Structure 1
Amino acid sequence: MSFEKLGLSENSLNAVRRKGFEKPTDIQKEVIPRLLRGDNDIIGQSQTGTGKTAAFALPLIELIDEEIKEVQAIVITPTRELAIQVADEIRSLRGKRRINVLPVYGGQPIGPQIRNLRRGVHIVVGTPGRVIDHIERGTLSLDGVSYFILDEADRMLDMGFIEDIERILRHTSEEKRVLMFSATIPREILRLARRYLKDYEVIRIQDRSLAPELVEQIYFEVRPNKRFSLLCSILDEKDFYGIVFCQTKRETRELASKLKTKGYSVEALNGDIPQKGRERILERFRKGKIRVLVATDVAARGIDVKDLTHVINYSIPQNPEAYVHRIGRTGREGKRGKAITFVAPWESPKLRDIERVARVKIKEMAYPTEYGRRKRDIPMVS
């Protein structure tokens, strides 16, 4: 199927061509026609990196009335980085339409956001806390919102934002359409849907594994005191470009510091770093000036960097949803990637749970047969 058959205008088709999109992804094939022509609410389940943003952005651009200078659509994202990214993607797809898109998020002065809102904004993309802040200040009215988009709903749940989402929803009209997008659909998301969505349909793109098909998934059973040496051997692979996930902010700082002393091109990314500093680090990472990013789940949420070769779970994810989102940073846009998880001997039950819920098979890799170039420096994993 081509984009021409989805019901998009010539303006949107030209924007798609400029972006270099050749044919729609599965989620785009399902969502675009439904949002353009239907009236049902939608829950869309699709892997990370499958074009979910364009799936709702392209129809929104068609449906927004640019002559009405009020907020007609709002997109809620779990993190600042994702809010910026989604806003940029919508702008890149609007073509010649004069649609104003504004990201609103914490960590930056609220004054410029208020001034932009007063000038007239059609689409707001924001994090829950800052959206609520604007609502309570009276600087953001959702009375005219016709489209409410919840992006990465399962991460909203993990990060404790569901009450905030419900609070925002109560400020919107009953006549709006609601779309939720998520890599996984936990029971809590369905409960939220039953409470706030009208006639909705669930679109599930993946039938089997929730993980990206082009990601090779392996794990090492390794004791914590041996993880660093094993990590260094993996980072020494030719053209390594990836993210190393840790559980805590402190661990990201300590690990990045140790890697820097070894000469690796690395930076830590965590919630303690001011927003401008995080944006600078991400920009350097996107340009390849940093080859290794050591991050927490929250800080790395919404990172969309092309051509990442690896994701390394230095700390095993807390749940299967976090695993799916982490490894979705690689294996995107037809490129292959590798996801490597370090598992302590006592963490095997957690690994089995990830495999069962995410419907994946993670292959055990024996060290040092696969990563043996530095084996004189690395003790045998035990």
Structure 2
Amino acid sequence: MTPSPPSFEALGLRPELLGGLARLGFERPTPIQASSIPSQLEGHDAVIQAETGTGKTLAYGLPLLNAIAGTPLRPRAMILVPTRELALQVRDVLREAARKWRPAIHALVGGEAIEPQLKLIDKGIAVLVGTPGRVHDLVRRDALMLKHCRTVVLDEADEMLLRGFKHDLDGILAALPTERQTVLVSATVGPEVQAYAEATMRKTEEKAPLQPATTAKTLTHHHVAVPKDGKLPILTKLLREEPGQAIVFVRLKEDTKRVAMRLRQAGLAAAYLNGDLPQANRNETMARFRDGLYRILVATDVASRGLDIPEVDLVVNYAVPPDVDQYVHRAGRSGRAGREGRAVTLSYREEVEALKRLRTGIPLEPLKIAPPRSGSDDHIRPWKPPVEAFEAPETPSKNPAAKPPRTKISRHLDWHEDRPDRRDRRKR
């Protein structure tokens, strides 16, 4: 019988943090928190191998906050993450945990105006959460001083290295004190991540054992062999039969829009997410997906990283992932925090080699899904977003020839799908 994890109090956290955890409804640490927090509280470097949904943010966030007394004006701790969305999520989690004494916890991310961020730095930041590009830019401008920073966390280190942030990370780490605590967090620990850990962490400290990539035990894995040109019909039927929320992973940015539009034509509440969408539109799409206004999100691997979506029931690999590590990242969006989840991979005959590589580390069970019959209701039935979920439209013009006013939802559709009157709207 597996022993239950200790209480947060037994881990040695400060009373202010314990009160914040109680307010958030956390009674006991997750396994990754219970195993990694004690050594971090002692100041040791750490490698935390954990997927999103395992409590990894508090696994490094609680020791980090525990070491901060009062409200320092210069960063005492810094967390680097690959995406703006993840930075904002981490910032919000830490603010909630530290609400008792409210240290200044701010996000400095790319894609936003730099002037407001410079003002935040001038006012004082105790804990900095940022993306590598923006933080490195601020360091090079001499606008951000890190000589008082005692802890640095590289969250989703594998993704930051994959996306080419190594140069920025090296520049940031060079600006930190030599005597510091370094925490590396990664869902997968391949040779590149392991080499970077060895190069940046103190050699005298013990590292957490590195384990092969795994998925949650509550997750089931299926594979569907698809005839030529049959992925979209099979995907449509699968999503009709699955009532919960789903994320569909595609390979290319262009595919996100194409697949989402086809699903909409089939009557499914689908949206798409890729790196070309403006940040405001990305945020709006995610808010509507979390609220259930969209049931299906079609995304690329890069666009989906760092997204905190707790209620995903199904992950579909529309494109076979190239390796087990990528599969783990995708599948980890489902089956989180003890919930049951399902991952389904669709593959053509030409993708058999990629499928063989997956089967070496993932127990894929075959699943048969017959394509929908021609003329069935799986075909065209356009989906329309529920207008009542948004602001009411303005009072129509008394002129019967006038075009109807643009509502919030119509403005949203301008950027989220092809519309025949799009050019006319831009002229207004």
TM-score (norm 2): 0.83
Distance 1:301 1:283 in 2: 16
**What residue is the counterpart of 2:255 in the other structure?**
251
2:9 to 4, 9, 22: 4
What is the CA distance between 1:223 and its match in structure 2? Answer: 3.9
Q: 1:166 aligns with which of 160, 170, 175?
A: 170
- Residue in 1 aligned with 2:323? 319
Residue 319 (structure 1) shift: 2.7
1:288 equivalent in alignment to 2:292: yes
Kindly indicate whether residue 26 of structure 2 is the aligned counterpart of residue 21 of structure 1.
yes
Matches within 5 A, 1:209-358: 210-223=214-227, 225-356=229-360
Q: 1:250: Cα distance to partner?
A: 0.4
Q: Provide the residue aligned with 1:361 in structure 2.
A: 363
Q: Determine the C-alpha separation between the residues in 2 that align with 1:195 and 1:224.
A: 47
Cα distance in 1 for partners of 2:252, 2:86 equals: 20
Question: Comparing 18-27 with 227-236, which one deviates more in the overlay?
Answer: 18-27
Separation in 2, partners of 1:161, 1:321: 19
Provide the C-alpha distance between the structure 2 equivalents of 1:296 and 1:247, rounded to a whole number of angstroms.
6
CA contact (8 A) 1:43 1:200 kept: no
Asked whether the equivalents of residues 77 and 128 of structure 2 are also in contact (C-alpha less than 8 Å), the reply is yes
What's the offset of the Cα at 1:288? 1.0
- Percent pairwise identity: 36
SS of the residue corresponding to residue 184 of structure 2 reads: strand
CA apart distance, 1:365: 1.2
Give yes or no for contact 1:154–1:321 (8 Å, CA) kept in 2: no
* Post-superposition offset of 1:237: 2.0
Q: Any idea what the Cα deviations from partners look like across 1:133-170, whole Å, max 9, x if unmatched?
A: 11122221111110010001111222222232122111
User: How far off its partner does 1:377 sit?
Assistant: 6.0
Structure 2: distance between partners of 1:263 and 1:367: 19
For structure 1, list consecutive stretches of 5 or more residues without a partner in the other structure: none
Alpha-carbon displacement from aligned partner over 1:99-137 (angstroms, at most 9, x marks no partner): 111111111111111111110001111111111111122
Per the normalisation by structure 1, the TM-score is 0.92
**SS state of the match for residue 202, structure 1?**
coil
Q: Following superposition, which runs of at least 4 residues in structure 1 exceed 4 angstroms of deviation?
A: 374-378
Are the equivalent residues in 2 in contact too, given 1:46–1:204 (CA < 8 A)?
no
Q: What secondary structure is seen at the aligned counterpart in 2 of 1:257?
A: helix
1:286-312 CA distances to partner (integer Å, 9 max, x unpaired)? Answer: 111111111111111111112111111
In the aligned structure 2, how far is the partner of 1:330 from the partner of 1:101? 29
Take 1:123 and 1:331, find their aligned partners in 2: how far apart are those partners? 31
Tell me which of the two structures has the higher relative contact order, counting C-alpha pairs closer than 8 angstroms and 6 or more residues apart.
1
Report the Cα distance in structure 1 between the residues aligned to 2:25 and 2:227, rounded to whole angstroms: 45
Quote the Cα distance in structure 2 between the aligned partners of 1:8 and 1:307. 30
Aligned position for 2:129: 125
Q: Which secondary structure state, in structure 2, belongs to the residue aligned with residue 144 of structure 1?
A: coil
SS of structure 2 residue aligned to 1:225: coil
**For residues 126-165 of structure 1, what are the structure 2 equivalents within 5 Å?**
126-165=130-169
Q: Judge conservation of contact 2:21–2:97 (CA < 8 Å) in 1.
A: yes
**Equivalent-residue separation in structure 1 for 2:187 and 2:61 (angstroms):** 18
Deviation at 1:59, TM superposition (A): 1.3
8 Å Cα contact 2:213-2:328 kept in structure 1 = no
Higher-Rg structure is 2
* 2:54 counterpart (27, 30, 50): 50
Instruction: State how far apart, in whole Å, the 1-side matches of 2:175 and 2:114 are.
Output: 20
RMSD (Å), alpha carbons: 1.8
Which sections of structure 2, spanning at least 5 residues, go unmatched? 1-5, 377-428
Within 1, Cα distance between the matches of 2:70 and 2:365?
A: 52
Q: Find the residue that maps to 2:292 and give its secondary structure.
A: coil
Decide whether aligned partners of structure 1 residues 375 and 3 sit closer, same or farther in structure 2, where only a CA change above 3 A counts: farther
1:116 aligns with 2:116: no
Q: Which amino acid aligns with 2:368?
A: A
Which AA in structure 2 matches 1:213? K
Contact between 2:188 and 2:213, CA under 8 Å: does it hold in 1?
Answer: no
Aligned position for 2:385: none
Whether the 8 Å CA contact 1:310–1:330 is kept in 2: the answer is yes
1:107 equivalent in alignment to 2:107 = no
Aligned pairs, number: 370
Instruction: Measure the CA separation in 2 of the matches of 1:241 and 1:224.
Output: 27
Q: What letter is aligned with 1:366? A: K
